[in-house]
């Protein structure tokens, strides 16, 4: 993983049923606003990528990936429906971008997470090993 991603954030769009109860015209209007929002952020150089996700997939778990289950389920409010990868000055700016998500008005959620420069578990392990080395000397 690159150490140059300190200002990258993943905006994950949660909720795949935000459009339920809307007319086709209302859905189209929201999607047009969403596309305009994406295009504007792209023009500003803030979006590095993004895509919608299909509603269903597989969840792999258990030792050696022995358990493969259907999911997430399309009706789940927690399912991730898509994402943007943004490069911004700060978390505050990433949150400000997320606040403009058109789906928020219809029950959607945006999770904002910073891209780590390295795996946090690996970083913790290195710190513990360094600490143990100091103790043993």
Q: What is the CATH number of the domain that holds 57?
A: 3.30.70.1060
% of residues, the chain, pLDDT over 70: 91
- Tell me whether residue 68 is in a domain: yes
Q: Residue 71 has what pLDDT?
A: 74
pLDDT value at residue 137: 63
Q: Does residue 26 lie in a domain region?
A: yes
In the chain, DSSP finds a helix count (H) and a strand count (E) of 3, 6
Look at residue 3 and tell me if it is in a domain.
Answer: no
Residue 1's pLDDT is 41
| DSSP code, position 82 | E
pLDDT at 6 over 80: no
Q: Is 50 part of a structural domain of the chain?
A: yes
- Examine residue 73 and state whether it is found in any structural domain, yes or no: yes
pLDDT of residue 70: 83
Q: How far apart are the first and last CA of the chain?
A: 32
Residue 3, pLDDT score? 45
Residue 34 within a domain: yes
Provide the pLDDT for residue 73.
61
Structural domain boundaries, residue 124 = 8-136
Token output for 20: 């339920």
Per-residue pLDDT tens for 18-74? 898 999 999 999 999 999 999 999 999 999 999 999 888 888 889 989 888 887 665
Check whether 2 has a pLDDT greater than 50. no
**Rounded mean pLDDT of the chain?**
88
**Is residue 2, in this structure, part of any structural domain at all?**
no
**pLDDT tens per residue, range 83-110:** 999 999 999 999 999 999 999 999 899 9
In a domain, 1, yes or no: no
Tokens linked to 36: 């305009």
How many distinct structural domains can be found in the chain?
1
pLDDT for the residue numbered 22? 93
């Amino acid at each position: 993983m690159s150490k140059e991603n300190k200002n990258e954030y993943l905006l994950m769009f949660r909720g795949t049923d935000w459009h339920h109860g809307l007319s086709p015209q209302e859905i189209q209007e929201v999607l047009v606003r969403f596309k305009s929002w994406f295009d504007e952020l792209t023009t500003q150089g803030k979006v590095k990528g993004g895509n919608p996700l299909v509603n269903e997939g597989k969840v792999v778990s258990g030792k050696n990936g022995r358990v493969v289950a259907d999911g997430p389920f399309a009706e789940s409010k927690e399912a991730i429906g898509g994402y943007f990868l943004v490069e911004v000055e700060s978390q505050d700016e990433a949150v400000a971008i997320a606040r403009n998500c058109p789906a928020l008005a219809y029950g959607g959620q945006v999770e904002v997470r910073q891209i780590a420069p390295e795996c946090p578990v690996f970083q913790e392990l290195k710190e513990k090993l360094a600490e143990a080395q100091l103790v043993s000397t």
